[in-house]
Structure 1
């Protein structure tokens, strides 16, 4: 018995397959899904698909997004901090300069087919859409989160936003089902070339309004109209992820596909029936986004606003477990490009780093700084373990908080008053990081 255990311990890592030169990549991003909204973090809505992917894959327990949606998407698409583009809020104007080497464009240089099905929100006019920035096929909302049944964005010039390949269309059906269906159909049409499928879901962004089929499955312990709708939305999202994974398996693509799941920011408690959406019978009351035990929520640079669920799953290649070192949304472009052999013709000024050595190959994580900017540049944060600096405002009137983020991950004790030297060092590091902000703002 001891000999068997020894052989398993020594040989199991060797049984993992080496990553093929050009694996498929599926990147699924939930919208406003909080830290504790998932079952594997104790959520009150069952998420069996995500739980299984996390248990059989690698959970990134300190994965950071931006505080809100468009910035996170800009970071994913460029490998750079969103603030370099002046993007700090959800926005309908074009976010990226025309000459930006985006993630899909980079992958296309080594033969990848690319698809986005879901929410773009980096330019809400058709001429600023995903097909202009490297996606062979696109479908979903050019703007932000939409009404789940009418597919409308907020009242105004971008209300009509549902599209396929930048042509506005009208469809019936629930948004979660439609996005998953398009993804599965696109996967089924692939004939051999490697692919990058990006699925930015609109769930669980407001307004939530779920089919009765899903509301009826919510545990009885979840009470309140909005709370039950929200839980149903999470469960529906989980099932949609399952459909995409099942499509990979059905098409014989699963063994050669890296699957990533995360959220674009922390959970929200905004009013479900607000924000100027066209009325469609939405329940009134605050959303029940759950970021506990992390501090605060979407829109802030505190942990509850930016530390989000994240997992990567690739049977036979990615070893199951937990990765505790801090990583950020901007790391995925450098990671994917290194994995598939993209060699940029010029310096892309990445703020992110290649995670593959530390996530899969056993290399120790390197010390680094994670820089975060909140909407309107009103707050910034810098994590440089063991410290995290939070800055509100700017200039002489700026106020600072300092946390030992390793000992106090929930940011309960501001030690700025007791750590003058550390505070000064962190403030200078933050100032240096902020110098590059707005160096690539999109111009007409």
Structure 2
């Protein structure tokens, strides 16, 4: 038998090593897109009246998390995403302009940055509305948008008061022209195009759409279906359609840059839809149409600010071609789960216990592991209400102490919370109340310690 040429033999020896390397994927890129106040049924794939072709396609080609829960309002949800912990552990329950997190908090971007990730936020921060409390101090290499909450779409001003001027780039306040959605997406796409291609990245895009006040460009108003009538309903529909197209721009940028196959994309909302007055007095006047927003959470109960399903159960899509199998995932998950999930995917091992309340979802979402029973805990603004889900039950608590009132729902059989069965299930009620009290005590202990 003739000897193989040296190069051929070397390649044969290397093949197993090359195959092994191919089977070990590198650190994935992560894009997390969060809408603001987008309701359960505001999207077309849940029956919404405004077309959302980009999101419909991501849903059809990806995995829909049909029981994904946020906090009832914005800053708490963002706290949960950044820390993997219940927002109430930090005493954060309302939209807040004061600094939300302790300086030494190991945030999601900090964890990923320690592994070599580039990190970027374009959009709404709302975890500390002064420049010195901004995203660059909590793990983001680059940040842009609103330090405070939702802003006027054209003047980029927050509510009247000390935090009204909030538009920034890397925590330097600036003035720009253009619609807020276009500006946020332009910054995100330019960052994607200009970054180092050989390093992984985490891009967080917390849009301000569809938060009030809504005032859309004429080009989007012209595209609103004729069946949607009234000034504010048309503005709201145009805002949803504009948001959908913005998500499409990010996907297109990933494809153009050759990054789509190595990028996990997640889309969700920070809380349920709202029917608040569009032309309220909190914002500087800028020609906003008067009337209530048309946030749609049907058939879920209630809306933004509530611990009922309409306030916290939100659209959520996971999309990664070739990695994530299309379908639906019906087990309950929560915003606090994303930090443990992303950290596990990236290979991050905490140097200390970060006291995550969330769990790594990847085994159940992609690897076929059965979901484990778990308790989901939700706190409303000011601790005025709480909810606790432990399937098949959901407990709702209004007030606290001896004056607290309780409602109990079979949330699996009655997802729209139409029948309070507390009186018929005294043993279950007692057990769920004890679970609730354990969570509440953990809140008090964490806030006192921090």
TM-score by length of 1: 0.95
Among 85, 91, 97, which residue is 1:80 paired with? 85
Q: Rg larger in 1 or in 2?
A: 2
Among 247, 265, 288, which residue is 2:271 paired with? 265
1:150 corresponds in structure 2 to 155
Measured against aligned partners, the alpha-carbon deviations of 1:114-135 in whole angstroms (never above 9, x if no partner) come to 0000000000000000000000
1:238 aligned onto 2:238: no
Note the C-alpha offset of 1:443.
Answer: 10
1:51 corresponds in structure 2 to 56
1:196 aligned onto 2:202: yes
Instruction: Give the whole-Å Cα distance in 2 for the aligned partners of 1:68 and 1:18.
Output: 41
1:221 corresponds in structure 2 to 227
1:97 aligned onto 2:102: yes
2:184 corresponds in structure 1 to 179
1:408 aligned onto 2:414: yes
Among 162, 167, 172, which residue is 2:167 paired with? 162
Among 424, 434, 437, which residue is 1:431 paired with? 437
Instruction: Give the whole-Å Cα distance in 2 for the aligned partners of 1:146 and 1:338.
Output: 34
Measured against aligned partners, the alpha-carbon deviations of 1:235-274 in whole angstroms (never above 9, x if no partner) come to 0000000000000000000000000000000000000001
Note the C-alpha offset of 1:20.
Answer: 2.0
1:286 aligned onto 2:292: yes
From the superposition, tell whether residues 389 and 443 of structure 1 become closer, same or farther in structure 2 (CA, over 3 Å). Answer: closer
Measured against aligned partners, the alpha-carbon deviations of 1:58-104 in whole angstroms (never above 9, x if no partner) come to 00000000000000000000000000000000000000001100000
State the secondary structure of the residue aligned to 1:390.
Answer: strand
Instruction: Give the whole-Å Cα distance in 1 for the aligned partners of 2:199 and 2:267.
Output: 23
State the secondary structure of the residue aligned to 2:202.
Answer: strand
Measured against aligned partners, the alpha-carbon deviations of 1:380-402 in whole angstroms (never above 9, x if no partner) come to 00000000000000000000000
Note the C-alpha offset of 1:18.
Answer: 6.2
From the superposition, tell whether residues 71 and 124 of structure 1 become closer, same or farther in structure 2 (CA, over 3 Å). Answer: same
Gaps of 5+ in 1: 1-16
Does structure 2 conserve the Cα–Cα contact (< 8 Å) formed by 1:19 and 1:317?
A: no
Instruction: Give the whole-Å Cα distance in 2 for the aligned partners of 1:20 and 1:261.
Output: 23
Does structure 2 conserve the Cα–Cα contact (< 8 Å) formed by 1:28 and 1:201?
A: yes
From the superposition, tell whether residues 439 and 253 of structure 1 become closer, same or farther in structure 2 (CA, over 3 Å). Answer: farther
Instruction: Give the whole-Å Cα distance in 2 for the aligned partners of 1:193 and 1:339.
Output: 15
State the secondary structure of the residue aligned to 1:382.
Answer: strand
Gaps of 5+ in 2: 1-21
Instruction: Give the whole-Å Cα distance in 2 for the aligned partners of 1:384 and 1:350.
Output: 18
State the secondary structure of the residue aligned to 2:56.
Answer: helix
RMSD: 1.3
Instruction: Give the whole-Å Cα distance in 2 for the aligned partners of 1:316 and 1:87.
Output: 38
Among 119, 125, 139, which residue is 1:120 paired with? 125
Does structure 2 conserve the Cα–Cα contact (< 8 Å) formed by 1:84 and 1:437?
A: yes
From the superposition, tell whether residues 438 and 122 of structure 1 become closer, same or farther in structure 2 (CA, over 3 Å). Answer: farther
Note the C-alpha offset of 1:19.
Answer: 7.3
1:331 aligned onto 2:374: no
1:106 aligned onto 2:111: yes
Instruction: Give the whole-Å Cα distance in 2 for the aligned partners of 1:371 and 1:270.
Output: 26
1:393 aligned onto 2:428: no
From the superposition, tell whether residues 249 and 19 of structure 1 become closer, same or farther in structure 2 (CA, over 3 Å). Answer: farther
1:3 corresponds in structure 2 to none
Instruction: Give the whole-Å Cα distance in 2 for the aligned partners of 1:290 and 1:18.
Output: 44
Measured against aligned partners, the alpha-carbon deviations of 1:304-338 in whole angstroms (never above 9, x if no partner) come to 00000000000000000000000000000000001
Measured against aligned partners, the alpha-carbon deviations of 1:150-207 in whole angstroms (never above 9, x if no partner) come to 0000000000000000000000000000000000000001221000000000000000
1:316 aligned onto 2:326: no
Does structure 2 conserve the Cα–Cα contact (< 8 Å) formed by 1:21 and 1:341?
A: no
TM-score by length of 2: 0.94
From the superposition, tell whether residues 415 and 442 of structure 1 become closer, same or farther in structure 2 (CA, over 3 Å). Answer: closer
